Chain A
Amino acid sequence: MSTPTAREKTDWDIPHYAGDHHEELSFIRKYVFSTDHKVIAVQFLVMSLVFLALGGFLALLMRWQLGFPGQPLPGGTLLPETMAPGGIILPEFYNSLVTMHGTFMIFFAIMPLLVGVFGNLLIPLQIGAPDMAFPKLNMASFWMAVPAGLIMLASFWVEGGAAGAGWTAYAPLSASGDFTGVYLGQQLWLLSLFILGFSSIAGAVNYITTVINMRAPGLTWFRLPLTVWALFITAVLVLLAMPILAGALIMLLTDQTIGTTFFLPEHGGEPLLWQHLFWFFGHPEVYILILPAFGIVSELLSNGARKAIFGYHAMVLAIAAIAFLGWIVWGHHMFMSGMNPMLGTTFMVTTLAIAVPSAIKVFNWLGTLWKGNIHFHVPFLHAAAFVALFIIGGLSGIFMASAPVDIHIHDTYFIVAHLHYVLFGGSLFAIFGGIIYWFPKMFGRMMNPFWGHVHFVGTFVFYNLVFFPMHGLGLEGMMRRLYDPTQYAWLADLQPWNVFITWAVFGLLAVQVVFFVNFVASIWTGRKAEANPWQANSLEWSVPSPPPHGNFEAMPIVYRGAYEYSPPDRKEDFILQNEPPRDPVGDRVEPEPQPTGGLEGSE
Chain B
Amino acid sequence: MNQTAITAAVRRPMPGLGVYNVKLGMWVFLLSEVMFFTSLIGAYIILRFAHPDEFAAPGVVLNVPLTAVNTFILICSSVTMVKAYAAIERNEQAGLKLWLTATILLGSTFVGVQVYEYIHLIQEGFVATAVAYAAEGGPLYGSTFYLMTGFHGLHVTLGVLALLWILTRAVKGVYSSQNLGGVEAVGLYWHFVDLVWIVLFTIVYLI
Contacts and interface: CB of A to CB of B under 8 A. Distances in A.
Interface of A: 5-6, 9-12, 14, 133-134, 137, 201, 204-206, 208-209, 212-215, 217-221, 239-244, 246-248, 250-251, 254, 258-262, 264, 266-270, 273, 276-277, 280, 557, 559-560, 569, 581, 583-585, 589, 591-592, 594, 596-598, 600-603
A273 B3 contact: no
B143 to A, nearest CB: 4
Contacts of A134: 21, 25
Given A215-B16, A243-B39, A268-B50, 10 more contacts: A5-B178, A6-B179, A134-B25, A259-B131, A261-B139, A270-B50, A559-B9, A581-B9, A592-B11, A596-B14
A597 B20 contact: yes
16 contacts: A9-B178, A9-B179, A209-B28, A212-B24, A217-B14, A239-B35, A247-B40, A260-B147, A261-B130, A262-B47, A267-B130, A267-B138, A268-B54, A268-B138, A592-B10, A596-B15
Contacts of A254: 128, 143, 147
Contact of A243 (B25, B35, B175): B35
Contacts of A559: 6, 9-10
B129 interface: yes
Interface string B39-51: 1101100110011
A522 B24 CA distance: 40
A598 B23 CA distance: 10
Nearest to A591: B10
Given A220-B12, A262-B47, A589 B140 contact: no
Interface stretch (B67-75, B104-112, B113-121, B180-188): B180-188
A601 B147 contact: no
Contacts of A240: 31-32, 35
Given A209-B21, A260-B147, A560-B9, A601 B28 contact: no
Nearest to A250: B147
B47 A273 contact: yes
B28 A205 contact: yes
Given A213-B17, A268-B138, A597-B18, A591 B11 contact: yes
A275 to B, nearest CB: 12
Given A11-B182, A251-B43, A262-B47, A267 B29 contact: no
Contacts of A603: 18-20
B128 A598 contact: no
A276 B175 CA distance: 46
B179 A251 contact: no
A557 to B, nearest CB: 8
Interface string B139-157: 1101110010001000000
A-B pairs, 7 with minimum CB distance: A247-B39, A596-B16, A243-B36, A259-B129, A597-B16, A260-B143, A215-B15
B22 interface: yes
Contacts of B2: 584
Nearest to A207: B28
A261 B182 contact: no
B9 A218 contact: yes
B136 interface: no
Contacts of B51: 268
B3 A585 contact: yes
Given A239-B28, A594-B14, A244 B47 contact: no
A547 to B, nearest CB: 21
B118 to A, nearest CB: 14
B20 A600 contact: yes
A218 B128 contact: no
Nearest to A597: B16
A590 B170 CA distance: 43
Contacts of A204: 28, 32
Contact of A214 (B16, B139, B142, B174): B16
A229 to B, nearest CB: 13
Contacts of A602: 20, 23, 178-181, 184
B128 A201 contact: no
A11 B32 contact: no
A9 B176 contact: yes
Interface in B153-207: 169, 174-176, 178-182, 184
A9 B47 CA distance: 50
Contacts of B43: 247-248, 251, 262, 273, 277
A219 B16 CA distance: 10
Nearest to B181: A10
Contacts of B50: 268, 270
A560 B31 CA distance: 33
B31 A277 contact: no
B174 A11 contact: yes
Contacts of B143: 254, 260-262, 269
Contacts of A269: 47, 140, 143
Contact of B10 (A218, A261, A276): A218
Given A254-B128, A259-B129, A559-B9, A270 B147 contact: no
Contacts of B38: 243-244, 247
B19 A208 contact: no
A259 B129 CA distance: 5
B32 A205 contact: yes
A225 B205 CA distance: 50
A559 B33 CA distance: 38
A515 to B, nearest CB: 35
A591 B7 CA distance: 8
Given A213-B24, A268-B54, A260 B16 contact: no
